[in-house]
């Protein structure tokens, strides 16, 4: 399917972290007809709002980024919210997109959909090999059901639904709220606040032995544009760097870049989450030529600089 840049593109979550970077890069590439439904004006959990939106805008393509997301603590506190809000937004939006004749629907999936004990590196065909890690299973399963829906709609209705799976994002514009942030912004804030307060130590959840993979937000945005323009297959496709780092090494790296020289203490009564996370990214490279370009240390430095320059810090 050929994508025409003058056609209308609806991006849910377009004012969020990834959405802001994606919309800017789309505009740089010549996309001039982008619709961004704002959460406060269009609650996608309500079907009537979706119907009104699609009747009014009649988009040709949809990139569904809107999601309720957070770190381990947020997932543990609100598992019902993370399940219901994410599944209801996606299910209803895709159904109405099908009814209104949308030409391509991209659901942005999550690495949390993979089983807790997945062979490393994670291959797309391993997605159904077991139950996700318990602390974020409701979120991961809600998002994974949208893959099932998209494949079912493709089979029955010839609906062009595709499903890229993203690893954890980081970069300028990230969420630094300690109640809901992911690990990199949480660590940057923790180290920076400790420096400002003159604290001699910080305390980190878990043991530090778990590993994670991260992709710089601008690289993720570029990958999604390639998915929009080049990928039309029913199978999920991993979007990441293919490189993992332990949480202990990540903490050491962020502390060094922030300039924090105090003690790092580990609270092993708190969960590590999934033991390891690292994607096999061969399919994205083979199918549409995506390779993440941003060096991890450079990306971290830009993210730290962004946080330090925030006017509300």
The maximal CA–CA distance of the chain, rounded, in angstroms, is 61
What are the boundaries of each domain within the chain?
A: 9-171+214-242+278-295
Tell me the CA end-to-end span of the chain in Å, nearest whole number: 45
Q: What is the mean pLDDT of residues 159-179?
A: 95
Collapse the DSSP code of 94 into the 3-class scheme (helix H, G, I; strand E, B; otherwise coil) and give the result.
helix
Confidence at 180, pLDDT banded by 50, 70, 90: confident
pLDDT of residue 95: 98
Is 255 a residue whose pLDDT tops 90? Answer: yes
CB 175, CB 185: distance < 8 Å: yes
pLDDT at 1 over 80: no
Tell me the catalytic residues: 139
Contact residues for 41 (Cβ-Cβ < 8 A; gap 6+): none
Q: What distance in Å separates the CA atoms of residue 255 and residue 253, rounded to the nearest whole number?
A: 6
What rounded mean pLDDT belongs to the chain? Answer: 95
- Three-state DSSP class for residue 221: helix
Nearest to 247 by CA among 214, 201, 279: 214
For residue 57, what pLDDT band results from cuts at 50, 70 and 90? Answer: very high
Rounded distance between C-alpha atoms, residue 3 and residue 5, angstroms: 6
pLDDT of residue 312: 77
Return d(Cα 123, Cα 160) in angstroms, integer.
Answer: 22
Average pLDDT over residues 167-175: 95
pLDDT band at 74 (very low <50, low <70, confident <90, very high): confident
Identify the pLDDT of residue 6: 81
> Residue 201 pLDDT > 90, yes or no?
yes
Write down the pLDDT at residue 252.
97
Q: How far is the C-alpha of 141 from the C-alpha of 106, rounded, in Å?
A: 17
CATH class of 9-171+214-242+278-295: alpha beta
Report residue 283's pLDDT band, with 50, 70 and 90 as the boundaries: very high
For 37-47, write each residue's pLDDT tens digit.
987 789 999 99
């Amino acid at each position: 399917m050929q994508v025409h840049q003058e056609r209308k593109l609806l991006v849910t979550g377009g004012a969020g972290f990834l959405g802001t970077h994606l919309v800017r890069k789309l505009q740089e590439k010549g996309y001039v007809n982008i619709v961004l439904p704002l959460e406060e004006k269009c609650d996608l959990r309500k079907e009537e709002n979706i119907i009104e939106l699609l009747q009014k805008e009649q988009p040709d393509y949809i990139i569904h980024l809107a999601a309720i997301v957070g770190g381990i603590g947020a997932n543990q506190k609100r598992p019902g919210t993370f399940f219901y809000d994410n599944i209801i937004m996606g299910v209803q939006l895709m159904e109405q997109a099908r009814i209104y004749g949308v030409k391509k629907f991209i659901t942005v999936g999550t690495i949390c959909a993979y089983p807790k004990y997945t062979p490393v590196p994670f291959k797309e065909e391993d997605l159904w090999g077991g139950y996700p890690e318990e602390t974020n299973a409701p979120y991961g399963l809600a998002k994974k059901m949208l893959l099932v829906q998209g494949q079912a709609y493709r089979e029955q209705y010839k609906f062009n639904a595709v499903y890229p799976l993203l690893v954890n994002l980081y970069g300028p514009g990230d969420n630094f709220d300690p109640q809901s942030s992911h690990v990199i912004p949480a660590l940057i804030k923790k180290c920076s606040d400790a420096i400002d307060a003159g604290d001699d130590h910080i305390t980190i959840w878990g043991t530090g032995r778990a590993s994670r993979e991260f992709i710089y937000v601008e690289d993720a945005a570029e990958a999604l544009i390639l998915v929009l323009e080049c990928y039309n297959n029913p199978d999920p496709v991993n979007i990441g760097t293919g490189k993992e780092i332990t949480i202990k090494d990540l903490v050491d790296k962020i502390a060094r870049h922030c300039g924090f020289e105090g003690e790092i203490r580990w609270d092993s009564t708190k969960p590590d989450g999934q033991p390891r996370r690292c994607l096999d990214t061969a399919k994205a490279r083979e199918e549409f030529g995506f390779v993440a370009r941003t060096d991890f240390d450079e990306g971290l430095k830009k993210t730290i600089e962004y946080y330090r320059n925030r006017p509300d810090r």
